[in-house]
Amino acid sequence: MLLLLEQMEFTDSINIRKGTRQGCPLSPLLFVLTLEVLNRNIRDDRSIKGMKIKKEEFKLKKKHF
């Protein structure tokens, strides 16, 4: 079961039925491909703001993961 946090509220539960097994050689590749898509969406979407800490704004960049 999976719960997502969206705009400070949890979504309905999602049942996970399939996935890669622990130790599967494809797991790292799938992880990197997923993060690449996430990174592109964050970079291209101007409405996504960074996190502000003491007047400085930080936005997720490739080097952070």
Contact 59, 45 (CB under 8 A): no
pLDDT digits (tens, 9 = 90+) for 15-56: 888 888 889 999 999 999 998 898 888 888 878 776 777 777
Per-residue pLDDT band at 59 (split at 50, 70, 90): low
Per-residue pLDDT band at 61 (split at 50, 70, 90): low
Angstrom distance (rounded) from CA 4 to CA 11: 5
Residue length, the chain? Answer: 65
| pTM beyond 0.75 | no
* Residue 62 pLDDT greater than 70, yes or no: no
For the chain, the structural domain boundaries read 2-57
AA identity, residue 58: F
Q: How far is CA 37 from CA 26, 30, 42, 44, in A?
A: 17, 11, 9, 11
Helices (H), the chain: 27-44
